[in-house]
Homo-oligomer: A and B are copies of this chain.
Amino acid sequence: MNSMDNTIKERLLAAYAAQQSRTYYAAWPESPRAYAEDGMARGLAVFQALLTQNFTALSQTGSDGWVGEEVSPYMMTGLGIQYPEFSAATLIQQAKDAQQVWGKTSVDQRAAVLLDALDRVAVKFFDIAYATMHTTGQSFMMSFQASGPHANDRAMEVLSMAYHELNRFPASVDWVKNMGKFDLQLKKNYKAVPKGIALVIGCSTFPTWNTVPGLFGSMMTGNASIVKPHPKSVLPIAMVVAEMQAALRAAGYPETVVQLGVDTLANPITKELAENEAVKLIDYTGGSAFGDYIETLTGKTVFTEKAGVNSVILQGATDPTAVFGNLAFAASLYSGQMCTAPQNVFVSADGIDTAEGKMSFDDVVAGIAQAVKGLAENPKMGAGTLGAIQNDITTQRVKSVEAAAGSSVVLASMAIENPEFPDARTASSAVIAVDAVDIAQWKHECFGPIVFVVKTNSHDHSLALAKECAASLGAITCSCYSNDESFMTKVEDEINAAFTPVSFNFGGAAFVNQHAAFSDFHVTGGNPSGNASFTDAQYVNRRFVWVGNRRMA
């Protein structure tokens, strides 16, 4: 393909226009109903046929054997899927070879291949949904949306931003400077030179949503890429990589422009890949300790999303019951395993302002606990909202946090019956009421279904603690409920100063957890929860270098 189809260009420009205006936009509809009617049945069949088999859809040679250790949090059995195993050296060498071609491929050609890849992925949304469900523990609906249309939208957002930035300066220009008696004339050109080999390190809970932005960003800017998934969440991104390789193959490019490098918990290859001199770009999603290590590597450009501690500042509510319901849902969705889930709810010892006057701290705690309990025990809502627990460490954490909290536990975490999967590893959210001074309990990340209601001295104290947490521990979201305009202004100023966004008075179908592609920046890059943002301009600009050449005319 030598020139880009106009349709492709139009799609990229439409997506770019949307993200510049920040208005609602979806390149792929989020409802499963917009896709094949028999999609669920076929997706399930595809998933089931893959179980206990070798995964052979990848186009990579030189493997040393087969590995795989995924476990379904719903079935609590191993998937038995084995992936080809590659040494770091093999992955790097193949990436270097592929880079010779991909680095010289035009921006238009790269865009055409990568958009084709997203279209191929869209055909597999149902397959990927079941793969996501049975690796992450997300509900089917979240699996479909997060790993399907929402992930594709995030990738499209990056593609369109990169397409704009790569075309930001002219390919060539005649430069003429009048020197008085004559003109000095130079012919100049400008090239966006790819940085090198890219490594994208995935996480266990959002194996495609958190991986494709960096992956498509690096590939669109001309960098051959190696995807290193979490060993417990391989299948969803393996399916995506297989489609990307199919798109490369169809267009006549080396399939190894993107490779999947699967490892095991016992024999990880991430550090060997990350420290390799040829790897110039690293995208990382996961825990802070490893993320901090990634950020210290020299000679690399790194993009991280690490852990944070998200706060809720509860100052007032016109309809407290609605607020508690919204909060309960945000905290319970996927059992608090979203990086955007609220953990600490700061409430003044005085209580909160409501339409019927003050509501006491104790009543607020009771209201939140009741909403969490009601949601968890609702047979139509509980199992579907909470999903399953991805990692047993999370289950253990809930138990140890509860044990340490003792009588502060207002609502204990419970296993939730899932009629479809009786063996599912489930846990509803624990609600724990603590005093602000007990920082050992609440002032650190407690990943999973744990909500602390923290008693503060005042609303301003609540704000100060939320800000301090965001600045020192990182935060991806902050939620504030208030009916006091001047307080809200102060909250916005102070929390924004810690480079954290605030969502005010969310109710109904609006949840703080959800960041919309093309409109909401995901992670700001300004606090310890990560150094990068989906998707500002530097998220793509830092993946290549502008080089200009001059020639005497």
**A binding-site residues for B, Cβ under 8 Å:** 20-24, 165, 168-170, 173, 175-177, 179, 182, 184, 186, 188, 190-191, 193, 195, 295-296, 298, 492, 496-497, 499-510, 516, 519-521, 524-526, 533, 536-538, 541-542, 545-552
A sample of 9 cross-chain residue pairs with beta-carbon separation below 8 angstroms, ordered by A number, consists of A22-B169, A22-B170, A184-B508, A188-B519, A193-B497, A496-B547, A504-B549, A504-B551, A519-B548
Contacts of A506 in B (CB 8 A): 550, 552
Contacts of A195 in B (CB 8 A): 526
Knowing A496-B193, A510-B552, A552-B506 touch, does A537 contact B547 (C-beta < 8 A)?
Answer: no
With A177-B516, A526-B545, A541-B541 given, can you name 11 additional A-B contacts, CB distance below 8 Å?
A22-B188, A23-B173, A175-B516, A503-B550, A504-B550, A504-B551, A505-B551, A510-B550, A510-B552, A537-B541, A538-B541
By Cβ-Cβ distance, the 10 closest A-B pairs, closest first, are A526-B545, A504-B551, A538-B541, A505-B552, A503-B550, A538-B538, A24-B177, A496-B547, A22-B173, A499-B545
Which of chain B's residues has its CB closest to A26's CB? Answer: B177
The answer to whether B521 and A547 have CB atoms under 8 Å apart is yes
Knowing A173-B23, A193-B499, A526-B193 touch, does A546 contact B533 (C-beta < 8 A)?
Answer: yes
Contacts of A525 in B (CB 8 A): 545
Contacts of A538 in B (CB 8 A): 537-538, 541-542
Assembly stoichiometry (copies): 2
- Give the CA-CA distance A533 to B542 in the complex, in Å: 11
Contacts of A503 in B (CB 8 A): 549-551
Contacts of A510 in B (CB 8 A): 184, 186, 550, 552
Which of chain B's residues has its CB closest to A549's CB? Answer: B502
**Residue of B165, B296, B504, B508 touching A537 (CB-CB under 8 A):** B165
**Residue of B295, B501, B552 touching A549 (CB-CB under 8 A):** B501
- Give the CA-CA distance A378 to B551 in the complex, in Å: 29
Knowing A24-B177, A168-B537, A496-B191 touch, does A524 contact B545 (C-beta < 8 A)?
Answer: yes
What's the least CB distance linking A166 to chain B, in Å?
12
Contacts of A505 in B (CB 8 A): 551-552
The answer to whether A526 and B547 have CB atoms under 8 Å apart is yes
Contacts of A188 in B (CB 8 A): 22, 519-520
The answer to whether B546 and A175 have CB atoms under 8 Å apart is no
What's the least CB distance linking A15 to chain B, in Å?
15
What's the least CB distance linking A339 to chain B, in Å?
16
What's the least CB distance linking A179 to chain B, in Å?
6
What's the least CB distance linking A525 to chain B, in Å?
6
- Give the CA-CA distance A289 to B497 in the complex, in Å: 34
What's the least CB distance linking A107 to chain B, in Å?
15
What's the least CB distance linking A472 to chain B, in Å?
11
Which of chain B's residues has its CB closest to A502's CB? Answer: B549
- Give the CA-CA distance A193 to B526 in the complex, in Å: 9
The answer to whether A173 and B509 have CB atoms under 8 Å apart is no
- Give the CA-CA distance A509 to B177 in the complex, in Å: 10
Q: Which of A173, A296, A519 gathers the greatest number of chain B CB atoms within 10 Å?
A: A519
Contacts of A508 in B (CB 8 A): 184, 552
Which of chain B's residues has its CB closest to A493's CB? Answer: B104
Which of chain B's residues has its CB closest to A179's CB? Answer: B509
- Give the CA-CA distance A551 to B485 in the complex, in Å: 12
What's the least CB distance linking A480 to chain B, in Å?
9
- Give the CA-CA distance A524 to B551 in the complex, in Å: 18
